[in-house]
Structure 1
Amino acid sequence: MSPLKLTFPSVSRWMLLLFVGVLMAPVLSVVSAWLPMGEGADAAMAILREMASTVLPDYVGTTLLLCGLVTLGVALVGLSTAVAVTLFEFPGRRFWEWALLLPLAMPAYVVAYAYTDFLQFSGPLQTGLRSVFGLQGRVFPEIRNVLGAAWVFTFTLYPYVYLLARTALGERTVHLMEAARLMGAPLRRRLREVALPLARPAVAAGVALALMETLADFGVSSYFGIQTFTAGIYKAWLSMDNRIAAAQLATLLLILVALLLGLERRAQRRMRFAVTKGARAGSADAQAVRLQGHRVVAVWLLCLLPVVMGFVAPVLFMLKPLMAEWTQQPWPRFIEWTLNSVRLGAITAALAVGVALLLAFSARRSAHWTTRVATQLAGLGYAVPGAVVVVGLLLPVGWLQSWAPDWQLGYWVTATVIGIVWAYLVRFCAVALQSLQSGYARLPQSLDDSARMLGASGAQTLARVHWPLLRRSVAAAALLVFVDVMKELPATLVLRPFNSDTLAVVAYQLARDERLGEAALPCLALVLVGLIPVILLNRTLRTSAR
């Protein structure tokens, strides 16, 4: 029997595509707002010309400068640490393999708050130095600028490059390095002509992911006062009440993200080719280069720097004010903020996993173009910045509210969980979908064929065959979505229901008000939550390496 006969009816396929279209509606509304018709077109072009002569050059220049600095930083730190733990053997190597993942648990805005509290003029470092050495004025330059933001993003986002480069520099690279050594090539030449070319696609993919996170950020850029596209979108919408300007800036940001997404997809394809083709070549006894003496010290320092800067130091900076104000912390309100975060995370995780399971199951059973398009569209959501989702949700609400005020659409979107959960689903369905697709990739198609020959329907196959084998993938997908929702700031800041502050929103508001000692408690709670996927990722990497 042809596998195509196992597909859902055409009505179900179109309903699936329509459902994904609802998820992607915010992106479509942003793009449609770019070119209003009639008299609105002239007004929109006038706004665009006004921005082009005032704020747009600053947004573009600052964003490109920040992206350039982050590119250099994450590529250098991520690649160098991946080379160190993959191609060399030294004491403590296993420890650094997982320790270098720890900055993944740190939201960038939390690191920004921690460094600002420690390095500012009234912070403990400058105060101590002035009292000890009798110095006057500022000892260190201001961190709240583009260079400071690049520093924060580099040491929180380099694990993207580290992970992908570590995967690319796997067994095959060690074999080729050994072959080059036997041919007389010195270590420096082996690294330059063997290891780095094989890692180049992985570095490009990791840099693209890091830049997408940089473009989507709002907490760091807003707190540091730098004029990025995301900060400009919120300023145009919330401060200037100019929806067309916000939509135009959101569209420009979406174009940049689309370019980076294309670069990442292309690099991923090249990386899979480089890693899989001939991966078993070489001798079975090839070993990593063993380091001794001062080289071991140099590699330890190389691995220690990003872990300290991206995880250890921020945690210590926040622990000090937390312990100093331990008895003054608002514990009842903290519990309320935590429950709000957990509630939103649980609702979104359940819905996202349900949608992702439906999409992954449909893609497995059907080769129809509607299923393929629906799956691809849902997989793009994670690349859409939260600011773009906010604008895309509120624009049509404003239009419909002015056309039918009795419907009270604004209330349902901003005063209930509907709007914020919708925004979360747009962004994080892709996370659940990727996890479930990875789980389905490990299930042989023969299981479906056997179930079909035994007379099982599609629902029975999903419930009695797939579900028992996908429980771990479903649990991992739900956990990843839950953690991402807990840390999400841009969309939550605008769309959260009234009197439903989350840990991320409270941390941002307290830090904005320079109450960094009080912000330490929700910040550290977010770090603890972020450690969960890091631990799971480390276990997965160790299992796959065996």
Structure 2
Amino acid sequence: MNRLKSLLNCLGGSFDANASGLLLLSSVTLLPLFVILSSMGQADDTVWQHIKHNQLSLLIWNTVILLLLVSLFALLIGTSLAWWVTMHDFKGRRFFEWALMLPLAMPAYVMAFTQLGLFDYTGPVQSFLRAILGANVQAFFPLRSAAGVALVMSLAFYPYVYLLARIAFQSMGRRALEVGQSFGYSPRIAFWRVALPMARPWLVGGVMLVAMETLADFGAVSIFNYDTLTTGVYKAWFALFSLSTAMQLAGFLLLGVVTVVSIERIVRGQRSYIAVGSASKNQRTLLRGWAACGVISWCVIVLGLAFVLPVGQLLIWAWPTWRVDLNTDFMAFVRGSLGLSAIAALSVTTVALCMSVFKRRTRSPWVSALVMASTLGYAVPGTVLAVGVFVPVAWLDNWLIGSLGLNVASGAILKGSLWVMMWAYVVRFLAVGFSSVDGAMQRVTVSQERAARSLGLNAWSMMWRVYLPLTRGGVLTAMLMVFVDVMKEMPMTLMTRPFGWETLSVRIFSLTTEGLWREAALPSLALIVSGLCPVLYLAWQGHQKGNI
């Protein structure tokens, strides 16, 4: 304890209840990441040599290619859509401005099997074209290639770029283009030489979010049978039964995530940007004729491919048998998903609120770095965190059984329990909850805290009677976002769930693995409906602020 006090004093801090609370919460969230990194070089030699000589290079190559292609496609789609709906006016613009966010509600693995159902060899599109043209059109729909997988995933992830790019273009307004025109640039050249460079921080942020989601994806690549490091971690653990090899692959993937985050920090840190206007206060360029038709067509194509057609296909699959499928088993899946998501939302938000309070009360240089490291779990794939959580829990189980002389038939006390699952969710989604809660915490003034202390409120009373009421909006937003993220989370749920605990996402994975896409339609629609809640909430917030 004395050494810890000395270390904190050297770092410019003080050892008190707030500092110790922050250190405790941070250590809980950082432990799985430390376990993964410390296990590098300790894989099972036989299994590792097999993967190293036969699969590792392919796994790394597929992961890198998929990462680059998805990032590129999402950047092109999201930036172009944001530019047209923000800086121009055309029929349907107000509808498209919020409707283009709807693909956020659709999990990537649902997008994957619906697109395969639509455009694969036996799908309605190719069957119709073969009947009309009388020729094999498979070559024109290489959906099971790297480019096909990347295009499908980019349709699910482009809203991240779209949202941030729209904010960027709204902040700069038409004044940026007017500056370009003063140099003799045409509107098109002004877009490339003025608007895009000014929007670079937001675009980089959006692309980094897409890159994180791509690295973390397990369901979509599994449906396409496209092997990446994420699927390699799962197969090494559950197919080759080598946890140490899974940890080795997880270490490679974690290093990739750290590299992506570092690149984003470096790119952002090299330049500074300021807003030069507001698009909402400037007249948009009115599009007419062929230009308007082209922009409307582009919006319709993207929205149709990314949301309307997949949802329509799911409805067609689900309609004939929905009365049969909507049985007690399905309701059990719904209850499992809702219960798990509610508990996780409450757990994550509670930890986020406590961490935000501890951060506010601990004035030290190391606090920001510690909080940033603690929220890194959102950038780490679920398969990696599942491995990182399982290893220390398995060690603790073995120690408890050996030390206490317990006779446990299953050989597990904590493994496969709801507590371990909640720990994994807290590590994974703490960043989602903390960003909303800490943003709301900034609105609590020092004078309000002093007034509460003058009334004799202790730390816990202030939590319930000051901080929680004043940050209610941020807390509710955090719970909503975490709730939906947990509803859609599949790999970590699949790998850490208690025995017999079924959720909608696990049910979808089980059905799609067996090729039962029609049976997976109803649980997929249930997930999409739940995912629409935060999307519509974001659209409503934008409308309230005058952004839509």
TM-score, normalised with respect to structure 2 = 0.90
CA displacement 1:430-476 (0-9 Å, x = unmatched): 11111101112233333224434555433333333332221111111
Instruction: Read off the aligned partner of 1:526 and give its amino acid letter.
Output: L
Instruction: Read off the aligned partner of 1:10 and give its amino acid letter.
Output: D
CA displacement 1:29-78 (0-9 Å, x = unmatched): 11121144xxxxxx657765553322111011111111111121011001
Instruction: Read off the aligned partner of 1:203 and give its amino acid letter.
Output: L
Instruction: Read off the aligned partner of 1:474 and give its amino acid letter.
Output: V
- Asked if 1 retains the 8 angstrom alpha-carbon contact of 2:82 and 2:162, the reply is yes
Please identify, of 236-245 and 460-469, the stretch whose mean Cα deviation from structure 2 is larger. Answer: 460-469
2:37 to 31, 36, 52: 31
Instruction: Read off the aligned partner of 1:302 and give its amino acid letter.
Output: W
What secondary structure sits across from 2:199 in the alignment? helix
**Residue 375 and residue 283 in structure 1: after superposition, are their counterparts in 2 closer, same or farther (change >3 A)?**
closer
2:38 counterpart of 1:22: no
1:320 to 316, 320, 332: 316
**Residue 326 and residue 366 in structure 1: after superposition, are their counterparts in 2 closer, same or farther (change >3 A)?**
same
The match for 1:162 is 162
Please identify, of 444-453 and 486-495, the stretch whose mean Cα deviation from structure 2 is larger. Answer: 444-453
CA–CA separation in structure 2 for the residues paired with 1:500 and 1:508:
14
- Asked if 1 retains the 8 angstrom alpha-carbon contact of 2:174 and 2:277, the reply is no
- Deviation of the 1:535 alpha carbon: 0.8
The match for 2:234 is 234
- Asked if 2 retains the 8 angstrom alpha-carbon contact of 1:164 and 1:206, the reply is yes
The RMSD of aligned alpha carbons is 2.7
TM-score, normalised with respect to structure 1 = 0.90
CA–CA separation in structure 2 for the residues paired with 1:446 and 1:304:
52
CA displacement 1:99-141 (0-9 Å, x = unmatched): 1101111100001111122233333333444455555695864
What secondary structure sits across from 2:185 in the alignment? coil
What secondary structure sits across from 1:517 in the alignment? coil
2:387 counterpart of 1:381: no
- Asked if 2 retains the 8 angstrom alpha-carbon contact of 1:412 and 1:418, the reply is no
Instruction: Read off the aligned partner of 1:537 and give its amino acid letter.
Output: L
The match for 1:504 is 505
- Deviation of the 1:9 alpha carbon: 6.4
- Deviation of the 1:267 alpha carbon: 4.8
2:470 counterpart of 1:474: no
What secondary structure sits across from 2:121 in the alignment? coil
- Asked if 1 retains the 8 angstrom alpha-carbon contact of 2:103 and 2:159, the reply is yes
- Asked if 1 retains the 8 angstrom alpha-carbon contact of 2:173 and 2:280, the reply is no
CA–CA separation in structure 2 for the residues paired with 1:227 and 1:534:
31
The match for 2:178 is 178
The match for 1:99 is 99
The match for 2:424 is 423
What secondary structure sits across from 1:468 in the alignment? helix
The match for 2:286 is 290
What secondary structure sits across from 1:24 in the alignment? helix
**Residue 284 and residue 179 in structure 1: after superposition, are their counterparts in 2 closer, same or farther (change >3 A)?**
farther
- Asked if 2 retains the 8 angstrom alpha-carbon contact of 1:201 and 1:270, the reply is no
The match for 1:144 is 144
**Residue 516 and residue 341 in structure 1: after superposition, are their counterparts in 2 closer, same or farther (change >3 A)?**
same
Percent identity between the two aligned chains: 36
- Deviation of the 1:291 alpha carbon: 1.6
**Residue 150 and residue 283 in structure 1: after superposition, are their counterparts in 2 closer, same or farther (change >3 A)?**
closer
- Deviation of the 1:315 alpha carbon: 0.4
CA–CA separation in structure 2 for the residues paired with 1:417 and 1:283:
48
- Asked if 2 retains the 8 angstrom alpha-carbon contact of 1:204 and 1:263, the reply is no
- Equivalent residue runs for 1:351-500 within 5 Å: 351-369=347-365, 371-400=367-396, 404=401, 411-500=412-501
Instruction: Read off the aligned partner of 2:505 and give its amino acid letter.
Output: A
- Equivalent residue runs for 1:53-132 within 5 Å: 53-131=53-131
CA–CA separation in structure 1 for the residues paired with 2:508 and 2:47:
34
Number of residue pairs matched by the alignment: 531
Structure 1: state its 5+ residue gaps: 37-42
CA–CA separation in structure 1 for the residues paired with 2:33 and 2:173:
41
CA–CA separation in structure 2 for the residues paired with 1:61 and 1:287:
47
Please identify, of 225-234 and 180-189, the stretch whose mean Cα deviation from structure 2 is larger. Answer: 180-189
CA–CA separation in structure 2 for the residues paired with 1:141 and 1:192:
32
What secondary structure sits across from 2:174 in the alignment? helix
- Deviation of the 1:511 alpha carbon: 1.0
- Asked if 1 retains the 8 angstrom alpha-carbon contact of 2:47 and 2:242, the reply is no
- Asked if 1 retains the 8 angstrom alpha-carbon contact of 2:172 and 2:279, the reply is no
- Deviation of the 1:158 alpha carbon: 0.7
